[in-house]
Structure 1
Amino acid sequence: MSLCTHACVLYTLVSCYYAAGGILRFASYYGDHMVLQRSPERAVLWGYGPDGAQVTISLSGPVTQKPPPVVVTKGIWRLTLGPVEAGGPYNVTAALEDTTVLFGDVWLCGGQSNMAFETSQIFNASEELVLAVKYPHVRIFMAALELSTTELTDLARVELPWSVPTARDLFHFSAVCWLYGRYMYDTLKYPVGLVESCWGGTPVEAWSSSRALHQCALLEAEDSPKRNDSVLWNAMVHPLLNMTLKGAIWYQGEDNTKYNQEKYSCSFPAMIDDWRKAFHEGSGGQTASDLPFGFVQLSTFEKGSTDEGFPNIRWHQTADYGFAPNPRMKKTFMAVAMDLPDETSPFGTIHPRDKQDVAYRLMLGARAVAYGEKDVAFQGPFPEQILAIEGEAYLNITFNQKISVTPSKDIFQICCSVARAPCGHLSVWLPAPIVHWYPTVVQVSTSMCQPVEYVAGLQYAWEDWPCDFKACPIYSDSGVLPAAPFRINRWPAAEESSGHGFY
């Protein structure tokens, strides 16, 4: 008698066939060449079989393991291996199946089109594709594009099974994901597994569970496109929850510049929190409850645009703090990308081809936040004090580190208010030229707003396209890391959570 039900058909007919036919197999995203999470975490294995059957797993390689058998329940078996140090290769055998794996760190790469942007499309793509064969221990896997209105147990389809990278396999693989993994391998010197699950033109709501959306009252929103809510979470994230991960990286937000923009400072952190909880529980506690999460702050789109969608989302990506990690978004790291525009990109200006710098900045953040390296600089300068000097016509902006400065007449802007009201998008913002600078201090002119006591707000790089390629005015002392954009009110509105201000 068939064990298939209508619900089973939703995720895969193959699963039903194997469960009914008495054959054991691994779930869709296990296979030759994959990377399993190294110790101290423990990798989770699971698959399909006939109810009541005992499944015996064996691990052979540099070390061996033969855990006690597990019983198939409701067509699924599941087992957590003991901790295994980085390295390999190992053979993992479940009944009739034999899979060759490595142990290392597994990273999930998610988001929309700039994460899906292919390695074959970047600057110097041919050179990068040739390099693939030099990184046999960086393994790649790609989930297929699928939607679902219910949470799936397994992936409906696999676009690219676990592979030892070749130019052919890497051609359509995520450039940010690959470059990040390659850079991490150069640092770690042990295997790295990369799982790509992303889809262009998608809002954060599609990648969020109903629990996360509820946290931000998005399920109750009148304009919520319910046919899109959670459909990618259901089909392309939920099936992966049994996997033990080291961390995740994310590049998304463009779609939310036009949809639920004002909610992004809630919806994005809520999605991160929910992914952490779900992966922690799904892996039986093996994926950390504070899973390290890196993200790319939006780059650029329309040069000369006065639309504030991009600067607003950049700010909301940090939960309105301007930097990461922060009190609302702990164990996160951010790659600033607004200084990497690509005016001649054949894929549209919204898709810059320089993904090398993006991935490198993410890698620095991961080394500091996920791996705890103490001496890795990964954040650009950010103001720690802004002083309006009475009787003077300038502001003193003190940054939290030494800076490299290029003069600019309009990258800094101020707004005036006699009534001590906070500034916003309807305010008149006036140029505040850089007049002097020192190792950690920039002075900007307030001659357009006098007396200086009337200066009510200061913003930096608050534009869609604030500067040319790697030519923003403020960088770290090394010139590598750009200052992130910010808008700081002297008299913050009651709802502003970051606590920024100046005196």
Structure 2
Amino acid sequence: MKKILFLSLSLLTAAGMSAKVTLPSVLGSNMVLQQQCNANLWGKAAPSKKVTVTTSWDNRKYTVQAAADSTWKTAVATPAAGGPYSIRISDGEAIVLDNVMIGEVWICSGQSNMQMPVMGFPGQPVVGSNEAILNGTNSDIRMFVVRREVSDRPLDDCNTDTGWQEATTESVAGFTAVGYFFGLNLYKVLGIPIGLIETDWGGTRIETWMDMETAQKVEQNQVEKDKNHQAPNKTAQLYNAMIHPLVNYTAQGFIWYQGESNIHTGNAHLYSQYMQQLVSLWRNEWGNQQMPFYYVQIAPFVYEGDDKTSVPLIVEQQLAAMDKIPYSGMASTTDIGSGPCIHPSQKIPVGERLALLALSKTYGKKGLICESPRFESVRFEDGKAIVRFKTEGTLGPDYSGRIKGFEIAGADKIFVPARAEYIVGQPEIAVSSTIVENPVAVRYAFRNVPDQTTLYNTGGLPAFPFRTDDWNDAQ
């Protein structure tokens, strides 16, 4: 019996020593590698086994030895954008990755408004989806979707149902609409291959996208809080299963659309801190504290009532995060959203606005207006509130010719609709009402579903909601 057991162990050891090199799911044919950098490649092989990586764009060979735990990792020097190329990885038995492109890689994450595909959700269409799908075939746009799974420990690999795919009518239809329209606009301007990695899950809190240690920097009681949540909303579950497996994949930056599920969790006032911690964690994991992080303002939705303020309150948190997070920016959705549906159908302008941020801030493209008007200061004089904005371009109304969406209040804290007039030559709006003789506060679009909002800059970007007060008992 002992001899049989010894023989069995010997055979298992020999099999392990001759095991063929393996790769994580995110490394495969059709992928896009980040251009002009040292892009990571990694996997597993038998302990101490030498692994040779050969890149076709320069015929260079890289040799690395697998560690005792079977893992290996190397970085290959990538050229300027181009392709297709191949990569040969061998430990004696070769794996060949074909149709590999070199270009720009972005990671798309968040909850359901990021997850919503180009073909829309049942009963919730995406405006312009048919045209986008019909014109979707493009071998220079590549997409990878992480399967939605949870884990209680950090994983080294994720699952995928499709691997890397070229953009086709079929693959575009099922891919994140915001991510696709973002990538499509990058491609239109840059004219180089674009790689998009989708890792998202509807209905999820921000806490599940970071590890426990990071979440506890904001609130220590994460374990206690998790007793009130089920998968996938327990702290770190999606970080473990859907972010950690990607951290070796060299990328240019992130786009993020999340926040709806943090509105009524009792800690919405801490959302800015959570965002700061999330971005710091992800950048640390990717080894680049300058990785761009562009995200989307939470769109108007009824929640507890059209006239309530849970949406603009979390938008305040999102704006505060933008002030604290370098190399970041937020796409405004003040003019997007139907109120009754939490998933706005207008995903094309969201993708375009994210692309404007990236093209201007990351790629240095000139002639673009990428940032929405934002409240800067207010002064009260002669019965009016003079609101000054920080903006690119000039301020103005939409084609209706009237500026709508402002409210004004006196010391009684009762807000009423206000008249708003553009001050020629200044980034300022004069706000007044015959009902309020001595105004002390002004708000713009500060409702869950504002009645009408028509303040834009000349780039066609809508102003962010704001308030000049800090009242919790205003009417």
Under a length normalisation based on structure 1, what TM-score does the superposition of the two structures give? 0.82
- 1:448 deviates by 3.9
In structure 2, which of residues 419, 424, 442 is the aligned counterpart of residue 458 of structure 1? Answer: 442
Q: What amino acid is aligned across from residue 30 of structure 1 in structure 2?
A: L
Per mean C-alpha deviation after superposition, the further-off stretch among 84-93 and 70-79 is 70-79
Name the SS for the 2:139 alignment partner. Answer: coil
CA pair 306-18 structure 1, distance change in 2 beyond 3 A: farther
CA pair 2-298 structure 1, distance change in 2 beyond 3 A: farther
Q: How does 1:194-273 map onto structure 2 within 5 Å?
A: 194-220=196-222, 222-224=224-226, 225=228, 228-259=234-265, 260-273=267-280
Q: For 1:309-365, what per-residue CA distance to the aligned partner results, in whole angstroms no more than 9, with x for missing partners?
A: 211111111226xxx4x2x0210111111211236xxxx611111111000000000
| Alignment match, 2:4 | none
In structure 1, which of residues 275, 278, 288 is the aligned counterpart of residue 285 of structure 2? Answer: 278
| Alignment match, 1:501 | none
Query: Is it true that 1:474 corresponds to 2:455 in the alignment?
Result: yes
| Alignment match, 1:294 | 294
Conserved 8 A contact 1:143-1:160: no
Separation (CA, whole Å) in 1 of partners of 2:173 and 2:14: 33
- 1:234 deviates by 0.5
| Alignment match, 1:369 | 361
Q: How does 1:82-481 map onto structure 2 within 5 Å?
A: 82-95=77-90, 96-100=94-98, 101-121=100-120, 122-133=126-137, 135-155=138-158, 157-220=159-222, 222-224=224-226, 225=228, 228-259=234-265, 260-280=267-287, 288-302=288-302, 305-319=306-320, 324=322, 326=323, 328-342=324-338, 349-389=341-381, 392-401=382-391, 402-405=394-397, 406-408=401-403, 411-417=405-411, 427-435=413-421, 437-439=423-425, 440-445=427-432, 447-452=434-439, 455=440, 457-467=441-451, 472-478=453-459, 480-481=460-461
Separation (CA, whole Å) in 2 of partners of 1:258 and 1:170: 33
Separation (CA, whole Å) in 2 of partners of 1:245 and 1:213: 24
Q: What amino acid is aligned across from residue 293 of structure 1 in structure 2?
A: F
Name the SS for the 1:119 alignment partner. Answer: coil
Q: How does 1:30-109 map onto structure 2 within 5 Å?
A: 30-39=27-36, 41-61=37-57, 63-95=58-90, 96-100=94-98, 101-109=100-108
Q: For 1:416-446, what per-residue CA distance to the aligned partner results, in whole angstroms no more than 9, with x for missing partners?
A: 349xxxxxxxx54333322554342211115
Q: For 1:208-240, what per-residue CA distance to the aligned partner results, in whole angstroms no more than 9, with x for missing partners?
A: 112321221254585444761110000000010
Conserved 8 A contact 1:339-1:467: no
Conserved 8 A contact 1:247-1:370: no
| Alignment match, 1:496 | none
Taking every aligned residue pair, what percent have the same amino acid on both sides?
A: 28
Q: Which stretches in structure 2 are left out of the alignment for 5+ residues?
A: 1-7, 121-125
- 1:73 deviates by 3.5
CA pair 483-71 structure 1, distance change in 2 beyond 3 A: same
| Alignment match, 1:22 | 19
Separation (CA, whole Å) in 1 of partners of 2:409 and 2:104: 48
- Count of residue pairs brought into register by the alignment: 441
- 1:486 deviates by 1.1
Separation (CA, whole Å) in 1 of partners of 2:9 and 2:160: 25
Q: For 1:52-106, what per-residue CA distance to the aligned partner results, in whole angstroms no more than 9, with x for missing partners?
A: 1110110013x22212333344121111112422111111111110002111111
- 1:26 deviates by 1.5
CA pair 481-83 structure 1, distance change in 2 beyond 3 A: same
Per mean C-alpha deviation after superposition, the further-off stretch among 88-97 and 431-440 is 431-440
CA pair 19-142 structure 1, distance change in 2 beyond 3 A: farther
Q: What amino acid is aligned across from residue 192 of structure 2 in structure 1?
A: Y
Q: Which stretches in structure 1 are left out of the alignment for 5+ residues?
A: 4-15, 281-287, 419-426, 494-503
CA pair 136-413 structure 1, distance change in 2 beyond 3 A: same
Under a length normalisation based on structure 2, what TM-score does the superposition of the two structures give? 0.87
- 1:373 deviates by 2.9
| Root-mean-square deviation (Å) | 2.5
Separation (CA, whole Å) in 2 of partners of 1:119 and 1:143: 17
CA pair 449-222 structure 1, distance change in 2 beyond 3 A: farther
Q: For 1:368-419, what per-residue CA distance to the aligned partner results, in whole angstroms no more than 9, with x for missing partners?
A: 2222335421112223332211xx111112223411124356x22234349x
Separation (CA, whole Å) in 1 of partners of 2:179 and 2:395: 30
| Alignment match, 1:422 | none
| Alignment match, 1:13 | none
